[in-house]
Structure 1
Amino acid sequence: MLWMLLLGAMFIHGYSWTNQWAASQAQTYSLHGRWDDAVPFWAWTIWPYLALNLLYPLTFFICPTRSALRRHALAIALVQAVCMVAFVCWPTGNIRAVPEPEGASGLLFAQLRAFEAPFNMAPSLHAAVLVLVWQAWLGGLQATAVPLRWLWHGACGLILLSTLTTWQHDLLDVLAGLLLGVLALWIARSVPMPRRPSG
């Protein structure tokens, strides 16, 4: 619970501040390429996109050991810190005008826009955190049936796709986020964790 609250606060305050910072800049950058113009806008994919916001806090409660929890928290802290530094040093913005869908999906887009302006695109923090959440839940599903694990892979694949089809990120933003997530996993696994003294 403590890790979830601390890192959740780091995300909410840090992301909000860097988003406002980027919005205040006279010039922002973009990794948008011609290939991104071929990506369709699918309003319904806002549902899997926002599903990560529910899976993220729950992940702290499924780590099987204290060491696994610490490694997961370290990886989360790393990706958040690196992304926020990048957002300040190299502010990025969405150069596309996102459509305003109607219905339930439109309400979710409105709620998303109430929290963030269309900045902080590269690297994709959404993609980086998804790597860590995917790995954490996969560890808890090792003892389950194979179809359930493939269902989890598919759900994460849909969340990853939604970062593009909601026009929240461009392809290079997402690739950078995936690389950052993998790097954070590797670092977290390489760092020795203190053990409880015996006796």
Structure 2
Amino acid sequence: MRTLPVANVPVPPPPWREALLWMLLLGAMFIHGYSWTNQWAASQAQTHTLHGRWDDAIPFWAWTIWPYLALNLLYPLTFFICPTRSALRRHAVAIALVQAGCMLAFVCWPTGNIRHLPQPDGASGLLFAQLRAFEAPFNMAPSLHAAVLVLVWQAWRQVLRTEAAALRWLWHGACGLILLSTVTTWQHDLLDVLAGLLLGALAGLIARCVCRPRRPVG
């Protein structure tokens, strides 16, 4: 029985134009939505906290502000590494879900940081000053930082799955350091981070169900 040659199917180019639109749209959603909910929480007479005695044992490491803020660079770049339009839309829907879910929680159950936050010196201190100029110490739970990290980690993990194992482990280690920095910068407490991780995983699952690639008919 003869086998027919497989036709060379052209690979579509990465959807960079749509990636730019999603990045701008969701970036605007984050900047304006987070800023508004942060100011709204600051205006409340009383806020809640998930701070526990175990959080008092976590040290403050000023240098971890660098990996903490590294996520702000990875967040927009991730839209451009999605190889297909379906992967891009799945990632965008997941990001929209975590941002909407966190902001809804910030309004319905405003949380604040009850610790006295140190102000370090040097370059790390400048980064802390810039961060605190954008946000007051509110919007703690669930941790939007942790929720977004889950989705960014997953998107890059898919891209790096065919690369060398050392590169993949380097990526896992970098994300682990970013996750650690959420508590060692005292930006979040442990339960805040746990809630963010669960929200990120749930959003990713919902996005995969909603944005399944269509099977060809016939």
TM-score, normalisation: structure 2: 0.89
Deviates more, 1:183-192 or 1:60-69: 183-192
Q: Which of 133, 146, 155 lines up with 2:174 in the alignment?
A: 155
**1:194 positional shift:** 7.0
Q: In 1, are the aligned partners of 2:89 and 2:211 still within 8 Å (CA)?
A: no
Q: 1:131 aligns to what? A: 150
Q: Secondary structure at the match of 2:161?
A: coil
1:100 aligns with 2:119: yes
Q: In terms of Rg, which structure is larger?
A: 2
Partners of 2:116 and 2:33 in 1: CA distance: 25
Q: Which amino acid aligns with 1:122?
A: A
| Residues 48-127 of structure 1: pairs in structure 2 closer than 5 A | 48-127=67-146
Partners of 1:32 and 1:61 in 2: CA distance: 37
Partners of 2:72 and 2:39 in 1: CA distance: 20
Partners of 1:66 and 1:88 in 2: CA distance: 33
Partners of 1:44 and 1:193 in 2: CA distance: 41
1:35 aligns with 2:54: yes
TM-score, normalisation: structure 1: 0.97
1:171 aligns with 2:175: no
Deviations 1:7-41 (A, max 9, x none): 00000000000000000000000000000000000
**1:192 positional shift:** 4.0
Partners of 1:130 and 1:87 in 2: CA distance: 18
Partners of 1:131 and 1:144 in 2: CA distance: 20
